[in-house]
Amino acid sequence: MPLWPACVDAALLRLRGGDEEFWRQWGELMERVGPAPDSVTEDLDTAGRLLLESSWELGAEVLGWFAWNPILNRPATAT
């Protein structure tokens, strides 16, 4: 997946409150999905590294959260 690093970077930006367009488009769905697990928000850099290198280490609950929302969608600028 050549765009995976860009998707992870976009997710981290979004979790930090950036990417206003994403929040305008997906904010309602993100509210229904619920907040990111504490283990992600406590250390976003580590979560990003694990998403890139060994996502299974995040655990089923965290991966389930990522699976049910668009936060890992590729950034609008990626092609």
E strand spans, the chain: none
Distance CA 44, CA 39 (A): 9
What is the pLDDT tens value at each position of the chain, 79 positions in all?
789 999 999 999 999 999 999 999 999 999 999 999 999 999 999 999 999 999 999 999 999 999 988 999 988 775 5
Distance CA 56, CA 51 (A): 8
| pTM for this predicted structure | 0.86
Report helix, strand or coil for 60: helix
Domain ranges of the chain: 4-72
